């Protein structure tokens, strides 16, 4: 299982819409609103790194009102704890 966390910036006043749409995407396991530079913290899990990459680039980044994303990939060797 591949895991990544995606930090999402959305357009002002559209955070809840974006979060709702993110939660509809396959492989998105969790989405939480945050205060600060980023508006939404998203946990993504997929069977392969290619599937994870596709989820982020072809789905998350294309959600309406998403301005930008920053992806934090989990180090596989440390994910087995």
User: 11-20, 45-54, 68-77: which range is least confident on average?
Assistant: 68-77
Q: What is the DSSP string of 15-66?
A: HHHHHHHHTTSTTEEEEEE-SSS-SEEEEEEESSHHHHHHIIIIIGGGSTTE
What are residue 42's phi and psi, to 5 degrees? -125, 130
- C-alpha 45/C-alpha 12 separation (Å) is 27
39-70 pLDDT, tens digit per residue, is 999 999 999 999 999 999 999 999 999 999 99
C-beta separation of 80 from 30 below 8 A: no
Other Cβ atoms less than 10 A from the Cβ of 34: the count is 12
Q: Which structural domains are found in the chain, ordered by start?
A: 2-66 (3.30.70.920)
pLDDT surpasses 60 at 81: no
Whole-prediction pTM: 0.93
């Amino acid at each position: 299982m591949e895991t990544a966390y995606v930090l999402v910036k959305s357009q002002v006043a559209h955070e809840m819409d974006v979060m709702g749409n993110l939660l509809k995407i396959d492989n998105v396991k969790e989405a939480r609103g945050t205060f600060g530079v980023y508006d939404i913290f998203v946990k993504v899990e997929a069977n392969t790194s290619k599937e994870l990459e596709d989820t982020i680039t072809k789905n998350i980044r294309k959600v309406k009102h998403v301005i930008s994303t920053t992806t934090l990939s989990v180090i596989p060797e440390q994910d087995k704890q």
